[in-house]
Amino acid sequence: MLRALRWSIAWALLILLLCLMPGQALPQWNWFALLDLDKLVHAGLFFVFTVLLAQAFFSNRSPAHYLVWACIISIAYGFATEFMQGMEALGRRTDLNDMIANSVGALIAAVYVNWKEKKGKAIVPFAFLR
Protein backbone atom coordinates (compact mmCIF):
# COMPACT_ATOMS: atom_id res chain seq x y z
CA MET A 1 0.00 0.00 0.00
CA LEU A 2 2.86 2.37 0.78
CA ARG A 3 4.15 2.05 -2.78
CA ALA A 4 0.71 3.00 -4.11
CA LEU A 5 0.63 6.03 -1.83
CA ARG A 6 4.12 7.33 -2.72
CA TRP A 7 2.88 10.14 -5.00
CA SER A 8 0.13 11.13 -2.56
CA ILE A 9 2.64 11.32 0.27
CA ALA A 10 5.06 13.36 -1.84
CA TRP A 11 2.26 15.77 -2.78
CA ALA A 12 1.11 16.00 0.86
CA LEU A 13 4.66 16.94 1.87
CA LEU A 14 4.76 19.62 -0.84
CA ILE A 15 1.46 21.04 0.45
CA LEU A 16 2.81 21.01 4.00
CA LEU A 17 6.00 22.79 2.93
CA LEU A 18 4.07 25.47 1.06
CA CYS A 19 1.42 25.96 3.72
CA LEU A 20 3.82 26.10 6.66
CA MET A 21 6.29 28.48 5.07
CA PRO A 22 6.84 31.41 7.46
CA GLY A 23 4.95 34.58 6.57
CA GLN A 24 8.13 36.60 5.99
CA ALA A 25 9.37 34.00 3.47
CA LEU A 26 6.32 34.53 1.24
CA PRO A 27 6.73 36.87 -1.73
CA GLN A 28 5.09 40.28 -1.39
CA TRP A 29 2.39 40.90 -3.99
CA ASN A 30 -0.63 43.09 -4.37
CA TRP A 31 -2.91 41.24 -1.95
CA PHE A 32 -6.10 42.12 -3.79
CA ALA A 33 -4.87 40.34 -6.92
CA LEU A 34 -3.34 37.51 -4.90
CA LEU A 35 -6.57 36.65 -3.06
CA ASP A 36 -8.21 35.37 -6.23
CA LEU A 37 -5.11 33.42 -7.22
CA ASP A 38 -4.54 32.11 -3.68
CA LYS A 39 -7.92 30.38 -3.50
CA LEU A 40 -7.41 28.85 -6.93
CA VAL A 41 -3.98 27.55 -5.87
CA HIS A 42 -5.48 26.03 -2.70
CA ALA A 43 -8.25 24.34 -4.68
CA GLY A 44 -5.73 23.07 -7.24
CA LEU A 45 -3.39 21.64 -4.62
CA PHE A 46 -6.18 19.68 -2.95
CA PHE A 47 -7.71 18.65 -6.28
CA VAL A 48 -4.42 16.96 -7.19
CA PHE A 49 -4.04 15.48 -3.70
CA THR A 50 -7.50 13.91 -3.84
CA VAL A 51 -6.93 12.51 -7.34
CA LEU A 52 -3.61 10.98 -6.25
CA LEU A 53 -5.20 9.46 -3.14
CA ALA A 54 -8.10 8.09 -5.17
CA GLN A 55 -5.67 6.53 -7.65
CA ALA A 56 -3.66 4.94 -4.83
CA PHE A 57 -6.75 3.51 -3.13
CA PHE A 58 -8.27 2.36 -6.43
CA SER A 59 -5.11 0.61 -7.58
CA ASN A 60 -4.95 -1.29 -4.28
CA ARG A 61 -8.70 -2.05 -4.32
CA SER A 62 -9.06 -0.71 -0.81
CA PRO A 63 -10.95 0.67 0.98
CA ALA A 64 -14.29 -0.19 -0.60
CA HIS A 65 -15.43 3.42 -0.87
CA TYR A 66 -12.05 4.69 -2.01
CA LEU A 67 -13.34 7.97 -3.39
CA VAL A 68 -15.17 8.91 -0.20
CA TRP A 69 -12.04 8.15 1.84
CA ALA A 70 -9.84 10.13 -0.56
CA CYS A 71 -12.12 13.16 -0.05
CA ILE A 72 -12.32 12.76 3.71
CA ILE A 73 -8.55 12.48 4.06
CA SER A 74 -7.92 15.41 1.72
CA ILE A 75 -10.42 17.70 3.42
CA ALA A 76 -9.16 16.74 6.88
CA TYR A 77 -5.58 17.41 5.75
CA GLY A 78 -6.67 20.77 4.39
CA PHE A 79 -8.23 21.71 7.72
CA ALA A 80 -5.16 20.49 9.62
CA THR A 81 -2.72 22.50 7.49
CA GLU A 82 -4.85 25.62 7.91
CA PHE A 83 -4.95 25.20 11.68
CA MET A 84 -1.16 24.69 11.67
CA GLN A 85 -0.80 27.95 9.76
CA GLY A 86 -2.31 29.67 12.76
CA MET A 87 0.79 28.90 14.84
CA GLU A 88 2.24 32.16 16.07
CA ALA A 89 5.83 31.24 15.13
CA LEU A 90 4.94 31.16 11.42
CA GLY A 91 3.60 34.71 11.32
CA ARG A 92 0.56 33.53 9.38
CA ARG A 93 -3.08 32.97 10.20
CA THR A 94 -5.79 30.36 9.85
CA ASP A 95 -8.12 31.29 7.01
CA LEU A 96 -11.64 29.86 6.73
CA ASN A 97 -11.75 30.80 3.03
CA ASP A 98 -8.65 28.69 2.41
CA MET A 99 -10.34 25.76 4.17
CA ILE A 100 -13.33 26.20 1.89
CA ALA A 101 -11.09 26.37 -1.20
CA ASN A 102 -9.26 23.20 -0.09
CA SER A 103 -12.57 21.40 0.38
CA VAL A 104 -13.96 22.62 -2.96
CA GLY A 105 -10.83 21.37 -4.72
CA ALA A 106 -11.23 17.95 -3.09
CA LEU A 107 -14.93 17.73 -3.99
CA ILE A 108 -14.32 18.77 -7.60
CA ALA A 109 -11.65 16.06 -7.75
CA ALA A 110 -14.22 13.51 -6.56
CA VAL A 111 -16.56 14.53 -9.38
CA TYR A 112 -13.66 14.31 -11.85
CA VAL A 113 -12.57 10.84 -10.63
CA ASN A 114 -16.15 9.57 -10.73
CA TRP A 115 -16.52 10.87 -14.28
CA LYS A 116 -13.23 9.24 -15.38
CA GLU A 117 -14.25 5.96 -13.78
CA LYS A 118 -17.65 5.95 -15.51
CA LYS A 119 -15.94 6.52 -18.85
CA GLY A 120 -13.63 3.59 -18.11
CA LYS A 121 -10.53 5.74 -18.31
CA ALA A 122 -7.54 5.93 -15.99
CA ILE A 123 -7.94 8.30 -13.06
CA VAL A 124 -4.58 9.98 -13.60
CA PRO A 125 -3.38 10.75 -17.11
CA PHE A 126 0.26 9.76 -16.60
CA ALA A 127 1.16 6.07 -16.32
CA PHE A 128 4.09 6.67 -13.97
CA LEU A 129 1.66 8.09 -11.38
CA ARG A 130 -0.42 4.91 -11.31
In a domain, 23, yes or no: no
- Flag whether pLDDT at 34 surpasses 60: no
Has residue 84 been placed in a domain?
Answer: yes
Domain membership of residue 24 (yes or no) is no
More confident residue, 39 or 43: 43
Q: For residue 49, is it within any domain?
A: yes
Give which of 100, 87, 123, 91 is closest to 42, Cα–Cα.
100
Instruction: Enter the pTM of the model.
Output: 0.85
- 121 in a structural domain: yes
Let me know if residue 22 belongs to a domain. Answer: no
Q: How confident is the model at residue 32, as a pLDDT?
A: 52
Q: Give me the domain span that covers residue 72.
A: 6-12+33-129
In 3-state terms, what secondary structure has residue 104? helix
pLDDT of 58-98, one tens digit each? Answer: 887 765 688 899 999 999 999 999 999 888 777 778 889 99
Residue 113, in any domain of the structure: yes
Q: Is residue 59 part of a domain?
A: yes
Res 24: pLDDT: 62
Tally of domains in the chain: 1
As a whole number, the mean pLDDT across the chain is 84
